[in-house]
Amino acid sequence: MSIIWKYLDKKAAAIAALKDYDSMKFIIDNTDADIKNTYHKMAGIGSPGFDGMPHSKTPQAAESRVTSCIDEIDVLKERYRQATEYMSWFVPAWRELTPDERYVLDMFFCKQNDYGDAVADIVADHYQIERASAYRRKCRAVDKLTVLLFGK
């Protein structure tokens, strides 16, 4: 294990990974459609010019469109690869948490949260506990997820 792991803020990294879950799931779910749309953009044929003059300022506009679409497809594929790598790292740790821990973390970090400070009240109401206890549950769940993702 590298010495650098000792000095990284693992708790903040675990929270950032938790917040990225929805984005990574979206990337995995929608990359195929994005690639198909890009292929359709690439395959379009320009209309013919009857006057013999090119319709664009650059005669290589069609080639430029094709190469930019190929570059875009490469970016989409790399983004998909990173998302699947993230999921294979994150999901096993997420599944090791108890349903209560997942609920607390989901409420505090995942739910595209518009509640602000009211999340602690929602969690406290759900479990019929005090607000301070809801924050302690959150801290314990984050600590456990951090250990599962990065080790001690």
pLDDT at 12: 87
**Contact present, 14 and 147 (Cβ < 8 Å):** no
pLDDT digits (tens, 9 = 90+) for 77-131: 999 999 999 999 999 999 999 999 999 998 888 766 656 678 888 888 989 999 8
Residues in CB range of 131: below 8 A, 6 or more apart: 120, 121, 124
Q: How far is CA 90 from CA 21, 73, 137, 142, in A?
A: 8, 25, 20, 13
Say what the pTM is.
0.77
